[in-house]
Amino acid sequence: MKILIIEDEQGLRETITAYLTEDNNICESCYDLQGAIAKLAFYTYDFVLLDIGLPDGDGFAVLNYLKDQTRSEAVIIISARNSLDDRIKGLNIGADDYLIKPFHLAELKARIIAVFRRKSTNSNNSLVFNEIVINLMGRSVEVNGSAIILTRKEYDMLLYFIANKGKVIAKTALAEHLWGDEMDMHDNFDFIYSHIKNLRKKILDLTSNDYLKSIYGIGYKFTDE
Ligand code: CA
């Protein structure tokens, strides 16, 4: 998953970034409100981890921004402020969860998976698209009951496609999602094609349904329509 970490404590920001990167996520980070809004204006994420006490204002402004823009990022507030009012305010403005500092990184990971699951699936720990089943905890995939072995990028790509099923995904968005925000500096996205080709082949080895549609000149769409 692609995660934006908004946290002004450098040590904590770096610790969270290292932990979640090690856990196969693409992490971007910033340390204040201004930086957060600048990132969110240009890029999209699966998750935003949001500190409330920031040097240039409080993190609720980020929640209001996401709400005003009707964005789909999931938000987990990470805050030392343990007042009931703050929690209720955060959850009311649209945060999906609230974690009080200090917390264990393993708990943060569990909360991220729980929120993602709640937002995108109805079943336990898995994301299902017809005959394709993704096990989120084990990062494994089955098609028609048989396991397929995917590379890290293929897995992330499939997860992103299924989480955004039916939507057209631009090549730039796909590249930023899987390789990081700085990918928008590239002028050529041909390298994505080989990952797409391999992913499609592995799925088509086990099903006759080709869900991954190319949208000429734009990008891709994962759909069963
Ligand atoms: Ca802070």
- How is residue 144 written in tokens? 């028609």
CATH architecture of 2-119: 3-Layer(aba) Sandwich (3.40)
- State the Rg of the chain over Cα: 18
DSSP-assigned letter for residue 101: S
Instruction: Give the mean pLDDT of the chain.
Output: 92
> For residue 82, what pLDDT is reported?
79
| Out of 37-41, 53-57, 121-125, 140-144, least confident range | 121-125
For the beta sheet containing 74-79, the strands, ordered from the edge strand earlier in sequence to the opposite edge, are 26-30, 2-6, 47-50, 74-79, 97-100
CA of 25 to the centre of ligand 1 (A): 23
CA of 161 to the centre of ligand 1 (A): 34
Domain boundaries in the chain?
2-119, 126-222
CA of 152 to the centre of ligand 1 (A): 33
> For residue 55, what pLDDT is reported?
97
CA of 176 to the centre of ligand 1 (A): 27
CA of 54 to the centre of ligand 1 (A): 5
In which band, very low, low, confident or very high, does the pLDDT at 190 lie, cut at 50, 70 and 90?
A: confident
- How is residue 203 written in tokens? 């799925």
Q: What is the CATH number of domain 126-222?
A: 1.10.10.10
CA of 188 to the centre of ligand 1 (A): 38
> What tens digit of pLDDT does each residue of 150-172 get?
999 999 999 999 989 999 999 98
> What tens digit of pLDDT does each residue of 59-116 get?
999 999 999 998 989 999 999 887 888 889 999 999 999 999 999 999 999 999 999 8
In which band, very low, low, confident or very high, does the pLDDT at 124 lie, cut at 50, 70 and 90?
A: low
Give the residues across from 140 on adjacent strands: 135
CA of 92 to the centre of ligand 1 (A): 21
**Residue 106 parent element (H or E):** helix 105-120
Contact 78, 50 (CB under 8 A): yes
**pTM summary value:** 0.78
- What is the distance between the alpha carbons of residues 86 and 93, in angstroms, rounded to a whole number? 11
> For residue 195, what pLDDT is reported?
94
- Burial category of 167 from C-beta neighbours within 10 Å (exposed 0-12, middle 13-18, buried 19 and up): middle
